[in-house]
Amino acid sequence: MSPTPESAESAPVSFRSEVTVELVKHSAADSDVLWAARVSTAGEQSLDELTKDPERSKGLINYLMRDRHGSPFEHNSMTFFISAPIFVFREFMRHRVGWSYNEESGRYRQLEPVFYVPGESRKLVQQGRPGKYEFVEGTSAQFELTGRAMEDSYRQAYAAYEEMLAAGVAREVARAVLPVGLYSSMYATCNARSLMHFLGLRTQHEQAKVPSFPQREIEMVGEQMEAHWAKLMPLTYAAFNANGRVAP
């Protein structure tokens, strides 16, 4: 008789409520915007901007942002390593222009049993009509139900996954029983212009001219990416906020 997932060496199922974003490499600075913009009037002399203090030209950065001259904001690169539930990545990959992705594959490795359960700060209740939704705090009973239902479902799904693998079913087939609350990881590479477009849609901010209503979990990813970018390109970041958080 073959062992069941309970009697075999079964991987312990764990639960998380946070996402993580690591900046793994970058070539991004405010000076990248300046030399890219000044080539239109200065030609080869625009290379002088590489060694100049960009603080002297923050007015140009603000002008480019305000009047939406966007291409100078594309001459930079940031690569992030992100760990989040699969449903976050499926929203994330709606952003296609200026982005490159590589995600871990359930075809080539056994997926780890780490699953998303909302933390206490996550508003659980959606109310209102389409286009006018708002989210409000859940009751203690709703939080208890959500956590219990998710954890029970996750354990059952992962046990079925392990049972199929133990029986010789291919990973690419067995993974179909796993829910979108499973954590995955990916590299995401972008430039400042594509990141600004992402942030304009996937975060809420008091300085935004155009309101956005992102799902909280992808907003959590966006907030961490924004914090990394703000340190790399502070003048560009300030201009983005000052001009309503609209991508140029």
List residues with catalytic annotation. 202
Torsional class of 241: left (φ above 0), alpha (ψ -120 to 50), beta (otherwise):
alpha
User: For residues 117 and 138, what is the distance between their CA atoms, to the nearest angstrom?
Assistant: 14
Helix (H) or strand (E) holding 79: strand 77-85
Beta carbons within 10 angstroms of residue 225's beta carbon: 21
Beta carbons within 10 angstroms of residue 182's beta carbon: 21
Please give the structure tokens belonging to residue 101.
């992705």
Distance of CA 21 to the CA centre of its chain: 8
User: Taking Cα atoms as reference points, which of 245, 231, 236, 201 lies closest to residue 61?
Assistant: 236
User: For residues 102 and 88, what is the distance between their CA atoms, to the nearest angstrom?
Assistant: 14
